[in-house]
């Protein structure tokens, strides 16, 4: 039995990695899915794949750091599917490694604009729609870096730490409005971001994992869908680590 028949899911950063896996999982569980990303070609490839598998999907080019893009993306989703039940704010970027005193201001702004401001802009639009319809679930992608320091990664870690505060505060704001807000904290996952982070030497990342392997994007998707489903109905304001013990 599929978990999301008649539901509508909205996924940012859907063109690759965790976002891609989660969009596919939502569609296979019966949801109508709006997929967004800045990169159009892989987004269109994902749209075609979901449609070929029998899913209902809307592909939207969207830069989450641009308010007009976000507003248009959520509005298009509601115009197409009539509502918005699950929002997975996954779009994010990694920083260029540097100690704090060497971080350029434009690099700091670049990371915070996407990872924190972008998530905030999405939540504003998503939650406004959920309030109109009387229910909804939001899941934000934080990171194991949201609960520990990262040498050379202050801007990324700061953005992800802030997401935890944003998630908890929003959970309190809407607890009585039938809207739940949670965060998933991935560890070292088999994605293109991890390839860039390690410079192609994936053993560096594996060595950091107590379980001795990288996580799969599908394992994060499983956690997101659980939080969005009725099985997670009493969970709000939570930060759930899915990281093979890395944050320990």
Tell me, yes or no, if 174 is annotated catalytic: no
Residue 209: phi and psi, rounded to 5, are: -95, 120
Which pLDDT belongs to residue 202? 74
pLDDT by residue for the chain (248 residues), tens only, comes to: 899 999 999 999 999 999 999 999 999 999 999 999 999 999 999 999 999 999 999 999 999 999 999 999 999 999 999 999 999 999 999 999 999 999 999 999 999 999 999 999 999 999 999 999 999 999 999 999 999 999 999 999 999 999 999 999 999 999 999 999 999 999 988 877 766 665 667 787 788 788 999 999 999 999 999 999 999 999 999 999 999 998 88
Measured in Å, how far apart are the chain's first and last C-alpha atoms? Answer: 36
**CA distances in angstroms from 126 to 88, 89, 119, listed in the order given:** 10, 10, 10
Which pLDDT belongs to residue 194? 65
Task: Identify which of 225, 58, 217 has the alpha carbon closest to the alpha carbon of residue 139.
Answer: 225
What residue ranges define each of the domains in the chain, with the CATH number in brackets? 8-237 (3.40.50.720)
Tokens 């248009």 -> residue? 72
Annotated catalytic residue, options 156, 174, 197, 246: 156
Which pLDDT belongs to residue 199? 67
Copy the structure tokens of residue 241.
Answer: 């680590």
């Amino acid at each position: 039995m599929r978990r999301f028949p008649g539901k509508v899911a909205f996924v940012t950063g859907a063109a690759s990695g965790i976002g891609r896996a989660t969009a596919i999982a939502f569609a296979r569980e019966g949801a109508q899915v709006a997929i967004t990303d800045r990169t159009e070609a892989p987004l269109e490839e994902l749209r075609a794949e979901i449609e070929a598998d029998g899913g209902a999907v809307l592909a939207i080019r969207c830069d989450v750091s641009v308010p007009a893009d976000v507003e248009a993306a959520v509005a298009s989703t509601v115009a197409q599917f009539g509502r918005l039940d699950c929002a997975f704010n996954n779009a994010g970027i990694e920083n260029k490694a540097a100690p704090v005193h060497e971080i350029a201001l434009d690099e700091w702004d670049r990371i915070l604009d996407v990872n924190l401001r972008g998530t905030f802009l999405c939540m504003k639009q998503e939650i406004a729609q959920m309030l109109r319809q009387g229910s909804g679930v939001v899941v934000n992608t934080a990171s194991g870096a949201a609960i520990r320091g990262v040498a050379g990664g202050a801007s990324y870690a700061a953005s992800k730490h802030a997401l935890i505060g944003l998630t908890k505060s929003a959970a309190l704001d809407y607890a009585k409005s039938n809207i739940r807000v949670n965060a998933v904290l991935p560890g070292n996952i088999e994605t293109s971001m991890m390839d860039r982070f390690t410079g192609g030497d994936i053993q560096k990342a594996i060595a950091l994992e107590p379980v001795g392997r990288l996580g799969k994007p599908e394992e994060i998707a499983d956690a997101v869908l659980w939080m969005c489903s009725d099985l997670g109905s009493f969970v709000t304001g939570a930060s759930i680590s899915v990281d093979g013990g890395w944050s320990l």
